[in-house]
Amino acid sequence: MDSEGFDALTRTTMLSSSRRGALVGFALGALGFLRSSGDVAAVLGCKSAGKRCRKSAECCEGICKGKKKRRRCRRRVCKPGQTFNECGGVSLTCTSVEGNLGTCATTTSNKGYCASGVYCIPCTTDADCVSHCGPHAACLDCAIYCGAGKACAGPAACS
């Protein structure tokens, strides 16, 4: 794990106010570690978007489409209303705009978003998160594991 991934893991875990928050922070840190160690899909034992597949269970995002013998794993498009298990939803794996595995979430502007990195700071708009998570950042509507109910997210690690 590089120093940036370790710092993100430490911040997320330290800012959480519950065991569940610490566990989520650890899981996000583990994804960060896997990302830094190469092909996440290979480590997880699934196929990433664009790879040939026979059935959906082979794909990281659970979507295998196309004509027989030409089927490929597809990216999941996150939709408004999709959210984390902790928020009463079903965690759906997605691929961020930067190609990192993440989880579908809903932003404060009611848009679907693939969150790969989460930074536990309060926010009200996506603009509040750009300095921490980059130009494609978003403010998530439900991030109860952060304590404030809202948190910044990015397509890669946030800091």
Domain locations along the chain: 3-38+76-154, 41-75
- Evaluate if pTM is beyond 0.85: no
Cβ(20)–Cβ(39) below 8 Å: no
pLDDT in tens, 48-100: 888 999 999 998 888 899 998 899 998 888 888 888 777 778 888 888 888 88
Cβ(69)–Cβ(55) below 8 Å: no
Cβ(150)–Cβ(140) below 8 Å: yes
Higher pLDDT, 33 or 100: 100
Distances (CA, A) of 11 to 29, 76, 78: 10, 28, 26
What is the C-alpha to C-alpha distance for residues 96 and 113, in angstroms, rounded to an integer? 8
